[in-house]
Structure 1
Amino acid sequence: MNASRRRAQVLLGTLVDITVQAPAELAEAALEQAFRRVAEVQAAMSFHDTASDLRRIARASAGEVLGVAPDTHAVLALALQLEAGSGGAFNPCCAAALVERGLLPRPEGASPGPAASLAEGIALLAGSRLRLRRPAWIDLGGIAKGHAVDVAVEALRAAGVEAGTVNAGGDLRTFGPQALTVQVRDPRRPGLIQPLAKISDLACATSAWLLDRPERRATHLVGAAEDVEDNPPMSVTVFAPRCALADALTKVVWLRGTHAAPLLREHQAQAFLWRERGEPQVI
């Protein structure tokens, strides 16, 4: 008999919360495998972990060929696609700027003169390998977190779970017939939670700052369009088929605004924005 079972673990710098609808004998093994996959993504793509693929890439020199985890290779492939499609608004080669802002640790032994874009820094090869075109300090924090949610869902489905939700600090994906109401804090009135949509078999991610924390305004964004407009977003939520897409596209929408509409359509995604002034907007 199916019943709701919920487990949570601290991973990816947040609380990863998984709920499944499944028989007890199936649910526990499925949950264990889902959390194992999230931990594997964390180990491969954490810029804080000196043994991660990203830190090994940061220490590598131009011309070196490195083997990376299949998860890392898959996320880098998607990141290259989104970097090109967004005209550089999505910029994974941003770790050097984030290090200077004190948001990431300075990698010991890293090669100097890191690439300004992912395409400038790496070329993907077959067999989960890549070649360094020039030194590359890569941050995949958000898109990797979304990918972790996606692979957790895949693990649950592979184990026979027919319905559930994986939530990693606001990067969320639900599968199965049940509808989930997505609620987001109104950044202009932080005490108010607003329902945005009911979703099923869909993912979403939110990037936001609060009006009473202006010092955090867009500090996580680095891109070709990093000069934020006069009436910038305070909160961006993207709905997409995969959580990795949803998370990455929040950054593109933040920087490109309505100009991100073609890229959203290409990936069957939709965005909801709150700006400092004016009414909420759907793209």
Structure 2
Amino acid sequence: MQHAIEWVHVAISKAYQVIEEIQFLMSFHDKSSALNQLNATAHLNAVQTHPWVYAILQRAQKIHDYSNGLFDCSIAPILVDYGFLPAHHAHENRVFLRASQQDMILLPDHKILFKQPLCLDLGGIAKGFAVDLAIHCLRQQGITNAVINAGGDLRVMGNIEEPIYIRNPVQPQQVQYLGRLSEGAMATSGSYFATKNHHHQQVSHLIHPLTQQSMITEKSFTVIAPQAWLADALTKVLVLSQNTHHECFKRFGAQGLITEKFESE
């Protein structure tokens, strides 16, 4: 029994190490991260990056293409301007005129090249990616049933059913039972926890990449998908399209749900 407990603790510890490694590689807040190394120099020369960074950028590019640009990690300069992200020295005095993820080129050998200066933020996909890698790590350690809840991103593995709840978007302290999730992932996004005043105007972290406008909404947006990175990314497509039947959901085997305020019981 003691051996089994120790084995589980070792597996959990390794899964946490994977999540920490993703944070180290992909954090916009860490000026020395692999992501910020790309932001600083990939428009000058092709940069060979970590395989995980390359893998997440491949996924991000796929969602960008299939969403017709609704999902775009190059909106970081707007988030910097609003104060949601730090203004690193590498991003100062940079011109990002009409830049988008289309200006990112994925080359062989995990190399990335930007056609022009870009400033990428992986906050819309990295958490889900970290959850998926942690689940993969647990599976490699022999764990067959697990739940990882990373604050808005949920992944369930094995023969278990996890009850899932969604917040009331106008009173987020209230929750409502949605159902049970097994062998899948769920992510929810909204502006209720991330708004601030910018030049006497209320703004949120939800940015429409085609108009560069911030979105304030009294709705929440939930996606259920096979993997957490996918659910994470597709919430942004759902927020911006306001369309639960967007072609991305069918293509990736996902479901979207838009929630308006509900009465507390």
With the shorter chain as reference, the TM-score category is: 0.7 to 0.9
Report the counterpart of residue 221 of structure 1 in structure 2: 207
Deviation string, structure 1 residues 177-208 (Cα, Å, up to 9, x no partner):
01001111112343431011211110011112
Which residue among 96, 99, 104 is the counterpart of 1:116? 99
Q: Does 1:150 align with 2:132?
A: yes
Report the counterpart of residue 260 of structure 2 in structure 1: 275
User: Equivalents in 1 of 2:217, 2:30: separation in Å?
Assistant: 33
Q: Does 1:209 align with 2:191?
A: yes
Offset at residue 39 of structure 1 (A):
0.8
User: Equivalents in 2 of 1:190, 1:58: separation in Å?
Assistant: 34
Which residue among 108, 111, 121 is the counterpart of 1:126? 108
Deviation string, structure 1 residues 134-183 (Cα, Å, up to 9, x no partner):
11100001300110000000000000000001111121101010100111
SS in 2 for 1:23: helix
Report the counterpart of residue 223 of structure 2 in structure 1: 238
Report the counterpart of residue 89 of structure 1 in structure 2: 70
Which residue among 20, 25, 36 is the counterpart of 1:55? 36
Letter in 2 for 1:207: S
Gaps of 5+ in 2: none
Q: 1:77 to 1:149 in 2, by over 3 A?
A: same
Farther off after superposition, 232-241 or 183-192:
183-192
Report the counterpart of residue 174 of structure 1 in structure 2: 156
TM-score in terms of structure 1 length: 0.82
Contact persistence 1:225–1:256 (CA under 8 A)? no
Report the counterpart of residue 122 of structure 2 in structure 1: 140
Aligned residues: CA RMSD: 2.7
User: Equivalents in 2 of 1:260, 1:223: separation in Å?
Assistant: 20
Farther off after superposition, 22-31 or 216-225:
216-225
Farther off after superposition, 259-268 or 248-257:
259-268
User: Equivalents in 1 of 2:208, 2:34: separation in Å?
Assistant: 21
Contact persistence 1:97–1:222 (CA under 8 A)? no
Deviation string, structure 1 residues 116-148 (Cα, Å, up to 9, x no partner):
21121x211122211221111000013001100
SS in 2 for 1:172: strand
Q: Does 1:266 align with 2:219?
A: no
Report how many residues are paired. 257
Gaps of 5+ in 1: 3-21
Q: Does 1:42 align with 2:23?
A: yes
Q: Does 1:251 align with 2:218?
A: no
Farther off after superposition, 214-223 or 178-187:
214-223
User: Equivalents in 2 of 1:129, 1:260: separation in Å?
Assistant: 35
User: Equivalents in 1 of 2:176, 2:211: separation in Å?
Assistant: 29
TM-score in terms of structure 2 length: 0.88
SS in 1 for 2:73: coil
Letter in 2 for 1:102: G
User: Equivalents in 1 of 2:138, 2:204: separation in Å?
Assistant: 34
